[in-house]
Structure 1
């Protein structure tokens, strides 16, 4: 017997697992975007490192 005005419990629109997957995808996308944006700077730093002799430069440079 149903009570007047009582509604059946409805299912959530999205589950907790779907929220976690969406968050992981967003985080991965933002990380990839940041990495792609920083690649030119990393390449420049690598070139500078090579020009100064790298680890083998010793005491040549302060």
Structure 2
């Protein structure tokens, strides 16, 4: 007696809502980190300028 086996279709990857949200969060975190790293030199420069000009103390000298 010959037994015929059903040919299975290739299984598709199932993207659940949770997996999509985790993937989106990972992409967003990566982009945020990239932007922060790119902007750090400019922020350091601005802080140095702020300190050279006196910072918050200048309000007392210049009304």
Q: TM-score range by the shorter chain?
A: 0.7 to 0.9
- Paired with 2:40 and 2:18, the residues of 1 have a C-alpha distance of 33
Q: Paired residue for 1:32?
A: 33
- Paired with 1:43 and 1:12, the residues of 2 have a C-alpha distance of 45
Q: Would you say how many aligned residue pairs link Structure 1 and Structure 2?
A: 53
Q: Paired residue for 1:42?
A: 43
The alignment status of 1:19 with 2:20, answered yes or no, reads yes
Residue 28 (structure 1) shift: 0.5
Rg comparison, structure with higher value: 2
Higher RCO, Cα 8 Å, sep 6+: 1
Structure 1's consecutive aligned runs of 4 or more residues displaced over 4 angstroms after TM superposition are none
- The runs of 5 or more residues in structure 2 that have no matched partner are 1-10
Output one character per residue of 1:21-62: Cα deviation in whole Å (capped at 9) or x when no partner: 00000001100100000000000000000000000012656x
